[in-house]
Amino acid sequence: GLVVVAFDRSPEVYLDIMLRHGLDSNALSRCVRILDCYSDPLGWKQNIRSEQHQEDSGTPCSTNKDTITIFRSVKDVDKLSCSIIDLGRGFEGEGKTYFSVAVDSISSMLRHASVQSISGLLSNLRSHDQISSIFWLMHSDLHETKFSRAFECLSTMVACVEPEVVDSVYGEERRGDMSFLEHNYSKAKFHVRLKRRNGRVKHLYEELCVEGYDVKFISATSVSIEVNQSLLPKVQFNLELSEKERSDRANVVLPFEHQGKGEPIRIYDGRRSLPEAHQDPNLTTAALLDETEALKSANPKGEIHYLRDSDDERPDSDEDPDDDLDI
Protein backbone atom coordinates (compact mmCIF):
# COMPACT_ATOMS: atom_id res chain seq x y z
CA GLY A 1 0.00 0.00 0.00
CA LEU A 2 0.88 3.66 -0.17
CA VAL A 3 0.46 6.27 2.53
CA VAL A 4 0.47 9.81 1.15
CA VAL A 5 1.22 12.55 3.65
CA ALA A 6 -0.40 15.51 1.92
CA PHE A 7 0.59 19.03 2.92
CA ASP A 8 0.52 21.01 -0.29
CA ARG A 9 -2.54 19.86 -2.14
CA SER A 10 -6.01 18.72 -1.38
CA PRO A 11 -6.28 14.89 -1.09
CA GLU A 12 -8.70 14.78 -4.00
CA VAL A 13 -5.92 15.99 -6.29
CA TYR A 14 -3.79 12.91 -5.57
CA LEU A 15 -6.73 10.57 -5.97
CA ASP A 16 -7.59 12.30 -9.21
CA ILE A 17 -4.04 11.91 -10.52
CA MET A 18 -4.01 8.21 -9.65
CA LEU A 19 -7.39 7.64 -11.28
CA ARG A 20 -6.17 9.43 -14.35
CA HIS A 21 -3.17 7.16 -14.57
CA GLY A 22 -5.25 4.03 -14.66
CA LEU A 23 -5.83 2.97 -11.07
CA ASP A 24 -9.47 2.04 -10.54
CA SER A 25 -11.34 3.16 -7.46
CA ASN A 26 -11.33 -0.33 -5.91
CA ALA A 27 -7.58 -0.50 -6.07
CA LEU A 28 -7.42 3.01 -4.65
CA SER A 29 -9.53 2.20 -1.62
CA ARG A 30 -7.53 -0.96 -1.04
CA CYS A 31 -4.03 0.37 -1.49
CA VAL A 32 -3.98 4.09 -0.85
CA ARG A 33 -4.35 6.03 2.36
CA ILE A 34 -3.99 9.77 2.53
CA LEU A 35 -3.05 11.63 5.69
CA ASP A 36 -4.64 15.00 5.05
CA CYS A 37 -2.37 17.68 6.48
CA TYR A 38 -3.69 20.18 3.94
CA SER A 39 -7.26 20.92 4.97
CA ASP A 40 -6.73 21.87 8.60
CA PRO A 41 -3.08 21.56 9.60
CA LEU A 42 -3.27 23.72 12.73
CA GLY A 43 -6.80 22.88 13.80
CA TRP A 44 -8.16 26.38 13.10
CA LYS A 45 -11.26 25.07 11.38
CA GLN A 46 -11.99 22.71 14.20
CA ASN A 47 -11.71 25.59 16.66
CA ILE A 48 -14.13 27.63 14.57
CA ARG A 49 -16.60 24.77 14.53
CA SER A 50 -16.40 24.21 18.26
CA GLU A 51 -16.84 27.94 18.84
CA GLN A 52 -19.92 27.92 16.69
CA HIS A 53 -21.06 24.70 18.41
CA GLN A 54 -21.30 22.93 15.10
CA GLU A 55 -20.95 19.22 14.76
CA ASP A 56 -17.78 17.92 13.30
CA SER A 57 -18.49 17.47 9.63
CA GLY A 58 -15.59 15.06 9.24
CA THR A 59 -13.82 14.69 5.97
CA PRO A 60 -14.93 17.03 3.19
CA CYS A 61 -15.76 14.23 0.81
CA SER A 62 -17.91 11.48 2.27
CA THR A 63 -17.14 8.90 -0.39
CA ASN A 64 -13.52 8.85 0.59
CA LYS A 65 -13.93 8.51 4.33
CA ASP A 66 -11.71 5.47 4.61
CA THR A 67 -9.05 6.72 2.28
CA ILE A 68 -8.59 10.19 3.70
CA THR A 69 -7.76 10.90 7.32
CA ILE A 70 -7.54 14.46 8.53
CA PHE A 71 -4.58 15.40 10.70
CA ARG A 72 -4.78 18.59 12.67
CA SER A 73 -1.53 19.01 14.58
CA VAL A 74 1.34 19.23 12.17
CA LYS A 75 3.65 20.79 14.74
CA ASP A 76 3.61 17.56 16.73
CA VAL A 77 6.05 15.40 14.79
CA ASP A 78 5.73 12.35 17.05
CA LYS A 79 1.98 12.30 16.61
CA LEU A 80 2.47 12.62 12.86
CA SER A 81 4.84 9.68 12.87
CA CYS A 82 2.36 7.53 14.80
CA SER A 83 -0.48 8.48 12.47
CA ILE A 84 1.53 7.51 9.41
CA ILE A 85 2.42 4.14 10.88
CA ASP A 86 -1.14 3.51 12.02
CA LEU A 87 -2.47 4.19 8.55
CA GLY A 88 0.12 1.87 7.08
CA ARG A 89 -0.72 -0.94 9.47
CA GLY A 90 -4.32 -0.72 8.32
CA PHE A 91 -3.59 -2.26 4.93
CA GLU A 92 -5.05 -5.70 4.57
CA GLY A 93 -3.11 -8.50 3.07
CA GLU A 94 -1.89 -12.04 3.49
CA GLY A 95 1.06 -12.37 5.73
CA LYS A 96 3.23 -9.38 6.30
CA THR A 97 2.14 -6.30 4.44
CA TYR A 98 4.62 -3.69 3.37
CA PHE A 99 3.79 -0.13 2.52
CA SER A 100 5.48 2.94 1.11
CA VAL A 101 5.27 6.47 2.38
CA ALA A 102 5.14 9.56 0.17
CA VAL A 103 5.52 13.05 1.66
CA ASP A 104 4.35 16.15 -0.24
CA SER A 105 6.25 18.09 0.82
CA ILE A 106 9.10 18.25 3.29
CA SER A 107 9.37 21.99 2.59
CA SER A 108 5.93 22.52 4.09
CA MET A 109 6.77 20.28 7.05
CA LEU A 110 9.86 22.37 7.72
CA ARG A 111 7.66 25.43 8.30
CA HIS A 112 6.09 23.72 11.27
CA ALA A 113 8.91 21.69 12.78
CA SER A 114 12.67 21.72 13.05
CA VAL A 115 15.08 19.96 10.71
CA GLN A 116 16.17 17.65 13.52
CA SER A 117 12.68 16.48 14.36
CA ILE A 118 11.81 15.83 10.74
CA SER A 119 15.07 13.97 10.14
CA GLY A 120 14.19 11.96 13.22
CA LEU A 121 10.77 11.21 11.79
CA LEU A 122 12.27 10.01 8.52
CA SER A 123 14.82 7.87 10.31
CA ASN A 124 12.10 6.29 12.43
CA LEU A 125 10.03 5.51 9.39
CA ARG A 126 13.06 4.15 7.64
CA SER A 127 13.83 1.70 10.38
CA HIS A 128 10.25 0.49 10.63
CA ASP A 129 10.10 -3.11 9.45
CA GLN A 130 6.90 -2.71 7.46
CA ILE A 131 7.97 0.31 5.46
CA SER A 132 9.55 -0.64 2.17
CA SER A 133 10.32 2.81 0.79
CA ILE A 134 9.89 6.48 1.55
CA PHE A 135 9.95 9.28 -0.99
CA TRP A 136 9.53 12.97 -0.42
CA LEU A 137 9.50 16.24 -2.30
CA MET A 138 11.66 19.18 -1.37
CA HIS A 139 11.82 22.64 -2.93
CA SER A 140 15.52 23.33 -2.70
CA ASP A 141 15.24 27.08 -3.26
CA LEU A 142 13.07 27.51 -0.20
CA HIS A 143 15.72 26.37 2.25
CA GLU A 144 19.33 26.93 3.09
CA THR A 145 21.67 24.58 1.28
CA LYS A 146 22.70 22.83 4.47
CA PHE A 147 19.14 21.72 5.17
CA SER A 148 18.69 20.38 1.66
CA ARG A 149 21.98 18.54 2.05
CA ALA A 150 20.91 17.09 5.38
CA PHE A 151 17.92 15.45 3.75
CA GLU A 152 19.97 14.31 0.81
CA CYS A 153 22.33 12.53 3.18
CA LEU A 154 19.38 10.62 4.59
CA SER A 155 18.39 9.34 1.20
CA THR A 156 19.73 6.57 -1.02
CA MET A 157 18.56 8.29 -4.16
CA VAL A 158 18.27 11.96 -5.00
CA ALA A 159 16.39 13.03 -8.11
CA CYS A 160 16.78 16.66 -9.11
CA VAL A 161 14.59 18.49 -11.57
CA GLU A 162 16.57 21.41 -12.90
CA PRO A 163 15.50 24.13 -15.31
CA GLU A 164 16.47 23.77 -18.94
CA VAL A 165 16.98 27.46 -19.41
CA VAL A 166 18.68 29.24 -16.59
CA ASP A 167 18.44 32.96 -16.50
CA SER A 168 22.01 33.62 -15.44
CA VAL A 169 21.73 37.27 -16.22
CA TYR A 170 18.99 38.18 -13.79
CA GLY A 171 20.02 41.74 -13.93
CA GLU A 172 18.24 44.93 -14.67
CA GLU A 173 17.84 44.26 -18.40
CA ARG A 174 15.92 41.05 -17.92
CA ARG A 175 13.71 42.32 -15.16
CA GLY A 176 10.12 41.40 -15.74
CA ASP A 177 10.79 39.49 -18.94
CA MET A 178 9.79 35.98 -18.06
CA SER A 179 9.35 34.63 -21.57
CA PHE A 180 12.23 32.20 -21.07
CA LEU A 181 10.02 30.46 -18.53
CA GLU A 182 7.76 29.14 -21.30
CA HIS A 183 10.39 26.55 -22.16
CA ASN A 184 10.97 25.69 -18.53
CA TYR A 185 7.34 24.86 -17.95
CA SER A 186 7.36 21.99 -20.38
CA LYS A 187 10.94 20.74 -20.32
CA ALA A 188 13.48 20.17 -17.62
CA LYS A 189 16.69 18.35 -16.85
CA PHE A 190 16.36 15.29 -14.70
CA HIS A 191 19.39 14.20 -12.73
CA VAL A 192 19.45 11.16 -10.49
CA ARG A 193 22.14 10.38 -7.97
CA LEU A 194 22.09 6.81 -6.71
CA LYS A 195 23.99 5.67 -3.69
CA ARG A 196 24.92 2.04 -4.11
CA ARG A 197 25.31 -0.43 -1.29
CA ASN A 198 29.00 -0.70 -1.86
CA GLY A 199 29.35 3.03 -1.53
CA ARG A 200 29.68 3.96 -5.20
CA VAL A 201 27.62 6.82 -6.50
CA LYS A 202 25.99 6.47 -9.87
CA HIS A 203 24.66 9.36 -11.92
CA LEU A 204 21.87 9.22 -14.45
CA TYR A 205 20.82 12.03 -16.73
CA GLU A 206 17.57 12.39 -18.58
CA GLU A 207 15.43 15.03 -20.10
CA LEU A 208 11.92 15.52 -18.78
CA CYS A 209 9.08 16.58 -21.05
CA VAL A 210 5.59 17.52 -19.85
CA GLU A 211 2.74 17.23 -22.36
CA GLY A 212 -0.66 17.76 -20.87
CA TYR A 213 -0.93 15.18 -18.11
CA ASP A 214 1.87 12.96 -19.36
CA VAL A 215 5.42 13.22 -18.25
CA LYS A 216 7.98 11.70 -20.58
CA PHE A 217 11.55 10.87 -19.78
CA ILE A 218 14.07 10.89 -22.57
CA SER A 219 17.41 9.39 -21.70
CA ALA A 220 20.13 11.76 -22.72
CA THR A 221 23.23 9.69 -23.38
CA SER A 222 24.87 12.57 -25.12
CA VAL A 223 24.50 14.60 -21.98
CA SER A 224 26.29 12.00 -19.88
CA ILE A 225 29.29 12.00 -22.15
CA GLU A 226 29.60 15.73 -21.82
CA VAL A 227 29.50 15.41 -18.08
CA ASN A 228 32.18 12.76 -18.05
CA GLN A 229 34.50 14.91 -20.04
CA SER A 230 33.92 17.77 -17.72
CA LEU A 231 35.19 15.66 -14.84
CA LEU A 232 38.69 16.66 -15.91
CA PRO A 233 39.99 19.40 -13.67
CA LYS A 234 39.90 22.89 -15.02
CA VAL A 235 43.50 24.00 -15.31
CA GLN A 236 45.32 26.47 -17.51
CA PHE A 237 46.84 23.86 -19.78
CA ASN A 238 44.99 21.58 -22.08
CA LEU A 239 44.49 18.06 -20.74
CA GLU A 240 42.44 16.88 -23.66
CA LEU A 241 43.47 15.53 -27.03
CA SER A 242 42.64 17.00 -30.39
CA GLU A 243 41.44 14.73 -33.20
CA LYS A 244 44.84 14.64 -34.87
CA GLU A 245 46.51 13.80 -31.60
CA ARG A 246 43.97 11.05 -31.03
CA SER A 247 44.61 9.49 -34.44
CA ASP A 248 48.37 9.82 -34.02
CA ARG A 249 48.13 8.05 -30.72
CA ALA A 250 46.13 5.28 -32.30
CA ASN A 251 48.85 4.85 -34.90
CA VAL A 252 51.71 4.50 -32.47
CA VAL A 253 53.20 1.06 -32.41
CA LEU A 254 54.22 0.19 -28.92
CA PRO A 255 57.70 -1.30 -28.43
CA PHE A 256 56.44 -4.60 -27.04
CA GLU A 257 53.87 -5.00 -29.75
CA HIS A 258 56.10 -6.12 -32.57
CA GLN A 259 58.97 -8.43 -33.20
CA GLY A 260 60.75 -6.25 -35.67
CA LYS A 261 59.97 -4.90 -39.11
CA GLY A 262 63.02 -6.34 -40.72
CA GLU A 263 65.32 -3.80 -39.15
CA PRO A 264 67.62 -4.82 -36.35
CA ILE A 265 65.85 -4.34 -33.03
CA ARG A 266 67.38 -1.48 -31.22
CA ILE A 267 66.40 -1.75 -27.62
CA TYR A 268 67.34 1.44 -25.98
CA ASP A 269 69.26 0.62 -22.87
CA GLY A 270 70.49 4.07 -22.04
CA ARG A 271 73.50 4.02 -24.33
CA ARG A 272 73.75 5.87 -27.53
CA SER A 273 72.33 4.35 -30.70
CA LEU A 274 74.71 2.35 -32.92
CA PRO A 275 75.01 4.71 -35.90
CA GLU A 276 75.88 7.50 -33.54
CA ALA A 277 78.36 5.25 -31.77
CA HIS A 278 80.14 4.48 -35.07
CA GLN A 279 80.69 8.13 -35.60
CA ASP A 280 82.03 8.79 -32.16
CA PRO A 281 85.81 8.54 -32.17
CA ASN A 282 85.99 8.00 -28.41
CA LEU A 283 84.33 4.64 -28.40
CA THR A 284 86.69 1.75 -28.90
CA THR A 285 86.05 -0.89 -31.50
CA ALA A 286 85.86 -3.49 -28.76
CA ALA A 287 82.94 -1.73 -27.11
CA LEU A 288 81.18 -1.49 -30.42
CA LEU A 289 81.72 -5.17 -31.10
CA ASP A 290 80.32 -5.99 -27.69
CA GLU A 291 77.18 -4.12 -28.47
CA THR A 292 76.67 -5.80 -31.81
CA GLU A 293 77.29 -9.23 -30.26
CA ALA A 294 74.69 -8.57 -27.64
CA LEU A 295 72.20 -7.65 -30.29
CA LYS A 296 72.85 -10.70 -32.41
CA SER A 297 72.49 -13.10 -29.54
CA ALA A 298 69.02 -11.85 -28.71
CA ASN A 299 66.89 -14.92 -28.55
CA PRO A 300 64.35 -14.84 -31.37
CA LYS A 301 62.46 -17.90 -30.22
CA GLY A 302 60.38 -16.41 -27.38
CA GLU A 303 57.31 -14.60 -28.58
CA ILE A 304 54.98 -12.28 -26.88
CA HIS A 305 51.57 -11.70 -28.31
CA TYR A 306 50.25 -8.49 -27.01
CA LEU A 307 46.67 -7.50 -27.53
CA ARG A 308 46.18 -3.83 -26.98
CA ASP A 309 43.33 -2.70 -24.76
CA SER A 310 40.85 -0.26 -26.12
CA ASP A 311 41.98 3.33 -26.14
CA ASP A 312 38.46 4.59 -25.63
CA GLU A 313 38.31 4.28 -21.89
CA ARG A 314 37.56 7.66 -20.50
CA PRO A 315 38.96 8.73 -17.16
CA ASP A 316 36.78 7.74 -14.20
CA SER A 317 34.85 5.23 -16.15
CA ASP A 318 31.57 4.38 -14.53
CA GLU A 319 31.85 0.67 -15.00
CA ASP A 320 33.12 -1.07 -11.96
CA PRO A 321 33.68 -4.80 -12.50
CA ASP A 322 32.96 -5.29 -8.82
CA ASP A 323 29.45 -3.97 -9.26
CA ASP A 324 28.24 -7.49 -9.99
CA LEU A 325 29.20 -8.64 -6.56
CA ASP A 326 26.24 -8.70 -4.27
CA ILE A 327 27.77 -9.01 -0.87
Partner 1 sequence: VCCLRHATPAPRDRFASVDTHAHSPLRSMRLRTYVTYFLQLEAEMEEYGAGDLLSEAMCAGARVVVVEDCVEAPAAFVLHLLLKRALAAGGGGGGGAALLALAQPFSHYDRVLRKMGCNLSMHRKSERLHFFDLQGFPGGTQGGAIADSLAQLYSAVQRVVETCRAGENAGRFTVMIDDVSLLEVAANGSADDVLDFLHYCVTLTSEMNCSLVVLIHEDIYSSEDGVGLLAHLRYIADLVIKAAPLSTGLATDVHGQLSVVNKGMLIEQRPAKGQKVWSFHFKVKENGADFFYPGSRH
Binding residues for partner 1, per CB under 8 A? 10, 12-13, 38-42, 44-45, 47-48, 51, 60, 107, 111, 139, 141-144, 172-179, 181-182, 185-186, 212
Of residues 52 and 285, the one with the C-beta less far from partner 1: 52
Of residues 164 and 291, the one with the C-beta less far from partner 1: 164
End-to-end CA distance of the chain: 29
Rounded least distance, CB 44 to partner 1, Å: 5
Of 104, 102, 99, 154, give the one whose Cα is nearest residue 132: 99
Of residues 46 and 219, the one with the C-beta less far from partner 1: 46
d(CA 234, CA 236): 7
Rounded least distance, CB 50 to partner 1, Å: 12
Helix (H) or strand (E) holding 222: helix 221-229
Rounded least distance, CB 182 to partner 1, Å: 4
Rounded least distance, CB 4 to partner 1, Å: 16
Of residues 111 and 258, the one with the C-beta less far from partner 1: 111
How many residues are recorded in the chain? 327
Rounded least distance, CB 14 to partner 1, Å: 12
Strands 201-211 and 187-195: antiparallel
Count Cβ atoms below 10 Å from residue 3 Cβ, excluding itself.
26
User: In whole angstroms, how far apart are CA 227 and each of 158, 166, 180, 217, 319?
Assistant: 18, 18, 24, 19, 15
Of residues 39 and 100, the one with the C-beta less far from partner 1: 39
